[in-house]
Chain A
Amino acid sequence: MWLVRFLMSSIGKKLVMATTGLLLVLFLFTHAAGNATIFMSSDVFQSYADELHSHPLIVIIFSLSILLIVFAHIGVGLFLFYENRQVAKSRYAVSTRVVKNSFASETMPYTGLVILAFLFVHIFGFTFSSEDVNISVTVKELLSNFFYALFYIVAFLALAIHLSHGFWSMLQTFGISHPRYDILLARLTIAVPVFFFVIFGGVAFYFMTGLGSSF
């Protein structure tokens, strides 16, 4: 069937990565917007969380969709990683990278797996936390632990590195490349990862350093 043939082609697999990647970035924007309420006060954050969870159907459909997208992104990503290793392993006695700053593109599977490990910790810490305790209390309690917060910051750094290649790579895979907006896209590829690192990392930093002790 044409759809299966398309999805199994080299460009098709890349388009699955790019599409799921785009959806995950859009999800992160909504997540970051919600998290930003933490910087207002615990009341604002708590009322945002209560409001969100007063619509359980939205939460369930949204969560399951994200889960599906995450599975597709990781599944196809690992398959591509495996396929590319088959082609690439032990090719040259000396191999030199000509492109400068290729760290992010070389480490995509690894930064991706760090983010996956983070997701497990994050979901067990917050999504499945006790419902008797207010989420604003759980946030402060968990992230006030220095090492817990440090792990979060390291994971967000991995996310930023992942996106510093992934964001541009996604656009390239969609075929979005034109001299008119090359510079704009290059700047967005820096701005988007930095934005996520500042908002998400900022929350962890806020509690880790005791800035949020009065939260």
Chain B
Amino acid sequence: MSSINLTLKIWRQPNSDALGNLETYSLDGIHTDMSFLEMLDVLNEKLTKESKNPVVFDHDCREGICGMCGAVIDGVAHGPEKEITLCQLHMRNFSDGDTIVIEPFRSRAFPVKKDLLVDRSAFDRIIQAGGYVSVNTGGTPDGNTIPISQVKAEYAMDAAACIGCGACVASCPNGAAMLFTSAKVSQLALLPQGHAERKQRATAMVTTMDEEGFGNCTNAKECEAVCPKGISIRNIARLNREYLSAVLLKDD
């Protein structure tokens, strides 16, 4: 096991109203087998012993499935490794003497609460607008009573892999939430159970997405490139179709 010495530049902001700034910390003897969050834990222990405020950051499962963690590392959401969340990033991706800039996920719709912690409740409100099925489905049906092709089921499952971490918004040059919203619309639009409400869902979720202050999609593909779950922008094309057909054909 080798260890490395690092210089960290971390966004510090005491609360959402305060002006933040990048603070520089030096951290020595970081084991390369540590995860990125464990490295931040080491920093926080050091800061606590020095009677300084530890760096606040979101985290929960630390195994890449909950969607709580995330920060922008040297300009890339979740750091340099493909298809992983920040907690799954390991320090072996960095070299001795590196300077790492750590900033919160930023968007107009994601206000910074403290340091690296951002308020992502705008995502919850998009889900509340239509990311569910509310039709009465009755009792447990027998298996295979609703025919669906394996390919469709796989596409729906791929979209459902979205953990709502917000990396798509953070990496989008325009702060758009199209990849998130499209994954949440797609996972239901692809399945028969989701068809009953698909038009109402598409318009309600897109309207809420716009109202929350997310930007406009310019098809820059940055979201897809940083998504820890590899959500495809084909979902965005599907959302565009769903939205257009809903606007033109919705019965209301």
Query: Does A pair with B?
Result: yes
A15 to chain B, nearest CB (A): 7
Q: Is the CB of A87 within 8 A of B215?
A: yes
* Residues of chain B from 191 to 232 with CB closer than 8 A to chain A in the complex: 206-207, 209-210, 213-222, 225-226
Interface membership of chain B positions 164-205, coded 1 if the CB is closer than 8 angstroms to chain A and 0 otherwise:
000000010111101000000000000000000000000000
* Residues of chain B from 51 to 72 with CB closer than 8 A to chain A in the complex: 72
User: Which single member of B215, B217, B219, B237 contacts A176 (CB below 8 Å)?
Assistant: B237
Stretch in contact with the other chain, from A95-103, A110-118, A147-155, A201-209: A95-103
Q: Is the CB of B220 within 8 A of A105?
A: yes
- Give the chain A neighbours of B125 by CB distance below 8 A: none
Interface membership of chain B positions 8-36, coded 1 if the CB is closer than 8 angstroms to chain A and 0 otherwise:
01010000000000100000000000000
Q: Is the CB of B107 within 8 A of A87?
A: yes
Determine the residue in chain B with the shortest Cβ distance to A13: B216
**Any chain B CB within 8 A of the CB of A106?**
yes
User: Which single member of A88, A93, A174 contacts B22 (CB below 8 Å)?
Assistant: A93
- Give the chain A neighbours of B244 by CB distance below 8 A: 11, 15, 174-175
| Known A15-B244, A106-B220; contact A88-B237, beta-carbon cutoff 8 A | no
Q: Is the CB of A93 within 8 A of B9?
A: yes
**Any chain A CB within 8 A of the CB of B47?**
no
Q: Is the CB of A93 within 8 A of B101?
A: yes
- Give the chain B neighbours of A106 by CB distance below 8 A: 173, 220
**Any chain A CB within 8 A of the CB of B114?**
no
**Any chain B CB within 8 A of the CB of A51?**
no
Specify which of B215, B217, B218, B239 lies most central, judged by the most chain A CB atoms within 10 Å of its CB. B218
Determine the residue in chain B with the shortest Cβ distance to A96: B75
Q: Is the CB of A87 within 8 A of B220?
A: no
Measured CA separation A181–B51 after assembly (Å) = 60
User: Which single member of A92, A102, A168, A175 contacts B240 (CB below 8 Å)?
Assistant: A175
Q: Could you list which residues of chain A lie within 8 angstroms of chain B, going by C-beta atoms?
A: 2, 5-6, 9-15, 80, 83-84, 86-88, 91-99, 102, 105-106, 108, 165, 168-169, 172-178
Q: Could you list which residues of chain B lie within 8 angstroms of chain A, going by C-beta atoms?
A: 9, 11, 22, 72, 74-76, 101, 103, 106-108, 171, 173-176, 178, 206-207, 209-210, 213-222, 225-226, 233-234, 236-244, 247
Can you sample 8 A-B contacts with CB below 8 Å? A93-B103, A94-B75, A102-B221, A102-B222, A105-B218, A105-B220, A172-B237, A177-B237
